[in-house]
Amino acid sequence: MNLDENKKALFLTDIENRLEPILQEVTNIQPENMLMLQSYGTVISHPYGDIMRSVITAIYHENVEEIFVVGTKDNRTPKINVQTQLESMKGKIETLDYLFQNCRPEFSGGTVNEWLNGKEYGSDNIQNSVNIIRHHPLVPSDVKVQGLMVTNKDGKISNVEVFNN
């Protein structure tokens, strides 16, 4: 990959502090050209939400040429189990689940638990986020978007899967 000197790559990653050197090695992008956008999970749950706003802002303000949606298989960020952790809010969760399923088109379907955790398989979340970015009307068509799934065992990278839809 040969980025122009002033072009940058944006990495949407999970809250994982050890990924930057691994991503630099895998992509051959210099640290000064790497922009990191971290969130709990690499899930863009809404094409007009805050994460997507940050992606679009980075594209135009930082001259981003390529975007990587990065997930990790050793994901240490625990999934939120709404049903057990928020038992005291059971009535509110049931109401929100009803809205997710029946009333509000801005909800992405499913349940509150699915909205908080994303899909069961990390690769599905990555592919969904790549598609949202790639097909967003405010993302220029020349911006490259791809997903990476990093398997990290004992602090060493063991595998990188690339998703290009």
List the chain pLDDT tens, one digit each, 165 residues: 455 556 799 999 988 767 888 888 888 899 999 999 998 777 887 888 899 999 999 999 999 999 999 888 764 445 555 445 666 677 777 777 777 777 755 555 566 666 666 555 567 788 889 999 999 999 999 999 999 888 766 555 555 566 665
**Residue 82 and residue 28: Cα distance in Å, rounded?**
40
- Vertex 150: Cα angle to 21 and 55 (nearest 5): 75
36 SS3 class: strand
CB 36 within 8 A of CB 23: no
- Is this prediction's pTM over 0.85? no
Task: Calculate the alpha carbon distances from 76 to 4, 15, 79, 100, 130 in Å.
Answer: 35, 9, 9, 28, 22
Q: Which fold has domain 8-76+120-163?
A: Beta-carbonic Anhydrase; Chain A (3.40.1050)
